[in-house]
Amino acid sequence: MRSVVTKVKKIVSYIIIILSFITGIAATGVAEWDHPFISIFIYLLLGGLPFTIGIIMLYGLKKVKETTWEKFRFYTGISFLAPILLKIIVYFNDKNTNRISTPTDIYITNYQGFIGLIIIFTGFYAFCLFIVIYIVGFKVEKELYISLVVAFLISAGLSIYGKNDFYAIREEGLFLSSKEEQIAIPWEDIESVRIEASIASDIGKYFSQDFEWEFIFYLKEHEPVKFSGFGYDEPSLKYSHQIKNVIMENKISMSIDSISEKEWEFLEVDMEDDEIKPDDFYKLFQYNPETNEYYDIKY
């Protein structure tokens, strides 16, 4: 009988601990910057208190006292520090986007090309490394601190260096901004647009591959301009239809890439997501699934 009670107590403890991580992350995620004390109180009430109860039930009060800081560093690192850092990153990213955006923007993207991959990779590495260093109590080799600082400086430095590098699709045309120049391209200077499908690797051949598409704008006096990285998800489909609509409103010649058999294999996996309507994708690529044919839209 005692062993049964012990097992039940252990299961309940794990449930409470798992729920405390969920509620702690949720409390941090919805925290308001204007009310820090209230947000901290809610976090401690909904996250810290259940976690404390759970580990006391699981390990006993005496053992918890011996390893208090280790357990709470782990808990706060995952449920508080990581979400807070993500909120800070999102805040500065949104602030920069608001700085460069205008009311007529249809779509805007930063860091075209290789520089964007470097920023993401070094930033993610610095983020994860800082969380790990915090959890272990900052007791790591100095090489890890150097690695953290270097990764952070590279990511932050490139972000600042390229803060004015962006492409935008606006109601009045395209806008290309860089450190060297800013180019406004009206719709009458765009000869045609093509939606091109492809199978893209995230980073290198050892990472996952996904079905993606891009908008290629062919210009009269400049090299083609590409807006890439669209995939089978709600934001990509939403923005893609907005881009396509403004192209059609300006009666720009547009062609659609036919999807190959290999591309369909990747796409069909994405289409298992029931929350996304396949009709939105079919309409974008002007594809009729009943006849297995593509159709043209005449102005």
The secondary structure element, H or E, covering residue 230 is strand 225-231
Per-residue pLDDT, averaged over 181-199, amounts to: 92
Contact of 83 with 28, CB cutoff 8 Å = yes
pLDDT of residue 79: 94
Contact of 262 with 236, CB cutoff 8 Å = no
Burial 125-157 (b: 16+ CB within 10 A, else e): bbbebbeebebeeeeeeeeeeeebeebbebbee
Reading the block at residue 19, the tokens are 């729920």
Instruction: Give Cα separations from 121 to 154, 203, 204 (angstroms).
Output: 10, 10, 13
pLDDT of residue 249: 93
Per-residue pLDDT, averaged over 95-117, amounts to: 82
Per-residue pLDDT, averaged over 289-299, amounts to: 86
Residue 111 reports pLDDT greater than 80: no
pLDDT of residue 204: 45
Contact of 175 with 184, CB cutoff 8 Å = yes
DSSP state at residue 179: S
Residue range 246-293, pLDDT digits in tens = 999 999 999 999 988 888 888 888 888 778 889 999 999 999 998 988
pLDDT of residue 206: 42
Residue 198 reports pLDDT greater than 80: yes
Residue range 65-83, pLDDT digits in tens = 777 788 899 999 999 999 9
DSSP state at residue 220: S
pLDDT of residue 208: 59
Instruction: With cut-offs at 50, 70 and 90, classify the pLDDT of residue 205.
Output: very low
Reading the block at residue 281, the tokens are 């994708």
By percentage, how much of the chain surpasses pLDDT 70?
A: 95
Residue range 148-173, pLDDT digits in tens = 999 999 999 988 887 888 899 999 99
Pick from 20-34, 44-58, 195-209: least confident: 195-209
Three-class SS state of 219: strand
Q: Pick the closest to residue 228 from 143, 141, 112 (CA basis).
A: 112
Alpha carbon distance 227, 242 (integer Å):
13
Query: Model's pTM, two decimal places?
Result: 0.74
Residue 1 reports pLDDT greater than 60: no
